[in-house]
Amino acid sequence: MSEKPVNTVSIGGYQCGTGHPLLFILGPCVMESEQLVLRVADRLAQLRDRHGYQIVFKSSFDKANRTSVDSYRGPGLQDGLRMLELVRQQTGLPTTTDIHECGQAAACAEVCSILQIPAFLARQTDLIVAAADAAVARNICVNVKKPQFVAPEDTVHAVKKCRARGLHSILLSERGSTFGYGRLVNDFRSVPIMQSFGVPVVYDATHSVQLPGGATTGGQRQMVPTLSRAAVAAGCDAVFLETHPEPDSALSDGPNMVVLDRLEQLLCDLTRFRDVVLSLN
């Protein structure tokens, strides 16, 4: 592997990439209510103010890939964007959400600082093009999550699709790879491989501990700190962590999410790991 290139992206006043502090993408998996969204966002803003962390608020207005037809999907685009705008107004946190259809890109770009392409949709050229066009128009960023079934070196094609539309503010996310049935594994070679394309790399810790299968997806929340530390040691530029005040009663991905009251210590630990990594480079 050649020397890691200098990759820096500006996101809502933050700098993410080589030589910069970690970017944290945090929030509940899905928008269960306005009360929950603002409760979590307020706590994240407190952590930003107390420690100077670079925090982007994340939550989904629609979980379009739920396993069961009976599972809660979210409030929908209109109400979801209204809640994200409230977060931005009341806390000043930049926001992100995932998009599933081309027609959602422009509306989300008016509110969000990052448009997120879900892993299952990262091969959909029209969706990436729509997100890239919307991001260029609003001078924001696109985060493409590496599909569970795609090798890290093949994510270069998503980067090329964005750049072909004039977008250079691009993130790639490592979120685990399918290994047999009902397991995901992280190959941390993904971090330097994807960074070699000239983009910062995000480690999605809470989706990496999912246990797919069954009517609802399980997870191993207790493994989030271990894998997150490994990813930061491997040189990732950002960490994606979903968090909830009471994950066991959450309407989506509860088994994976970090308990909100335990988040501060984890962010402190990861920041210390990042400081060590930066001191070695």
Quick one: tokens of 196? 């070699």
Checking if the pLDDT of 132 tops 90, the result is: yes
Q: What is the DSSP string of 232-276?
A: HHTT-SEEEEEEESSGGG-SSSTTTSEEGGGHHHHHHHHHHHHHH
Write the pLDDT tens digit of every residue in 192-242: 999 999 999 999 999 999 887 665 667 789 999 999 999 999 999 999 999
User: Rounded to whole angstroms, how far apart are CA atoms 129 and 80?
Assistant: 23
Q: What is the DSSP string of 75-143?
A: S-HHHHHHHHHHHHHHH---EEEE--SGGGHHHHHTT-SEEEEPGGGTT-HHHHHHHHHHHHHHT-EEE
Whether 116 and 80 have beta carbons less than 8 Å apart is answered as no
Write the pLDDT tens digit of every residue in 233-251: 999 999 999 999 999 999 9
> What pLDDT score does 161 carry?
98
- CATH architecture for segment(s) 8-280: Alpha-Beta Barrel (3.20)
**Which residue did the predictor score with more confidence, 237 or 66?**
237
Write the pLDDT tens digit of every residue in 76-90: 999 999 999 999 999
For 73, the enclosing helix (H) or strand (E) is none
pLDDT-derived band of residue 253, with 50, 70 and 90 as boundaries? confident
**Which residue did the predictor score with more confidence, 130 or 70?**
130
Quick one: DSSP state of residue 147?
P
Q: What is the DSSP string of 151-217?
A: -GGGGHHHHHHHHHTT---EEEEE--EE-SSS-EE--TTHHHHHHTTTS-EEEEHHHHTEE--SSS-
Write the pLDDT tens digit of every residue in 38-50: 999 999 999 999 9
> What pLDDT score does 125 carry?
98
Checking if the pLDDT of 6 tops 90, the result is: no
Quick one: DSSP state of residue 61?
S
Write the pLDDT tens digit of every residue in 141-184: 999 999 999 999 999 999 999 999 999 999 999 999 988 777 89
Write the pLDDT tens digit of every residue in 50-65: 999 999 999 999 987 7
> What pLDDT score does 214 carry?
62
pLDDT-derived band of residue 2, with 50, 70 and 90 as boundaries? very low
pLDDT, average across residues 14-23: 97
Report the mean per-residue pLDDT for the chain.
94
